[in-house]
Amino acid sequence: MLDLAARYHEVFGPTGAVRIVRGPGRVNLIGEHTDYNGGFVMPMALEASVRLALYPHQEPVVRLWSEQFAERAEFSLAAEGPMEPPDEPPHWLRYPMKVADVLAEAGVRLYGFNGVVEGDVPVGSGLSSSAAYEVAAALAFLVAAKPELPAGPAQAVAQAHGLTTARLAQLCQTAEHRVGVRCGIMDQFISLHGKRGHAILLDCRDLSYQAVPLPTDRAKVVIIDSAVRRKLTTGAYNERRSQCEEGAGRLRKFDPDIQELRDVSPALFQAHEESLPQVVRRRCRHVITEDARVLESAEALKAGDLERFGRLISASHDSLRDDYEVSGPELDLLVRIARSVPGVLGSRLTGAGFGGCTVALARPEAVEPLRQAVMTQYPKHTGLQPRVWVSDAADGAAIDV
């Protein structure tokens, strides 16, 4: 791991002690495209994260160096939030700028700082590098405003500013909306609320949640990066969100209490699905059945029934492939390879789709055969080099130093 404090001094010169904040990425085990429909998801925080080393100063400006892009950029601060640079800022700078926007609107006084950003969450992989970055940026602003805050979990940092971590997640979600992706709340929420050794079952409507234990002695979470990158702001993600909203609106005439697809029961959908345009019908069917799979998955994990959980994971992928149409040939190939390995209990794409990663639930003894099968078969058929790793469920965001 990069010595981020030392790297800060290389970039900005000697100072006092720098602070380091961290926002983890996430892998969603099940519950895809349900969050912005008010439904249920079950992600876990990853050990991979975005880290930001910072040193506060008295100038109303934020200067950042991105290790990933080997680029330095800055923006100025005003009482009401950041001011747009005279030239078009690099895309990676827009995230902390929009985070500053929403924090200022929430009443957080902004202070300038110098910072170095680095991370090991692959960009465009479906592991929520953007949410990890937003959360790290938010913590950086909170620390810059109160440099005396001790190292510790994000909850304490938020409370020092009169915020809850749920509210902080909502602010980071709003920041991503302003960047251009109408994401749900899941990614920012799990980055702030992860718990080591547990998945988080989250109700995306009221933000109630519970930790569900993952028996890592009996099964491992294996993440496989397809090396296919996608950019959600190109429109496919937002198009599907609009289709879901259309479906909920059309079904509302059969039950006025329907606000979102979360409120549509499988029975009501089956009774009235013919009233929906064909594409909208498929989108709605995925979301409604996926919500049911998430709740059943939580019960399966609580009962220690990993085989049942694995079957639900696989059913989720089939629905994402056929009804939501967010998979692709590379993701489907990785899923087929994984399912062919004895001891793999289930596999699916994870994240919004259109590229990125798959996730598999595998018996410990199946992890290495799975890795070998992927590394042998996938490049032969695609010419792409995948990445395979195992991650335990990690704790959420924090001030590390």
Active site residues: 187
The 3-class secondary structure across the chain, one letter per residue, is: CCCHHHHHHHHHCCCCCCEEEEEEEEEEEECCCCHHHCCEEEEEEEEEEEEEEEEECCCCEEEEEECCCCEEEEEEEECCEEECCCCCCCHHHHHHHHHHHHHHHCCCCCCCEEEEEEECCCCCCCCCHHHHHHHHHHHHHHHHHCCCCCCEEHHHHHHHCCCCHHHHHHHHHHHHHHHCCCCCCHHHHHHHHCECCEEEEEECCCCCEEEEECCCCCCEEEEEECCCCCCHHHCHHHHHHHHHHHHHHHHHHHCCCCCCHHHCCHHHHHHHHHHCCHHHHHHHHHHHHHHHHHHHHHHHHHCCCHHHHHHHHHHHHHHHHHCCCCCCHHHHHHHHHHHCCCCEEEEEEECCCCCCEEEEEECHHHHHHHHHHHHHHHHHHHCCCCEEEECCCCCCCEECC
Say which amino acid occupies 126. G
Rounded to the nearest 10 degrees, the angle between the axes of helix 165-179 and helix 129-145 is 120
Task: Say how far apart CA 401 and CA 393 lie, in whole Å.
Answer: 21
CA distance 121 to 143: 23
Cα separation, 337 vs 369, whole angstroms:
11
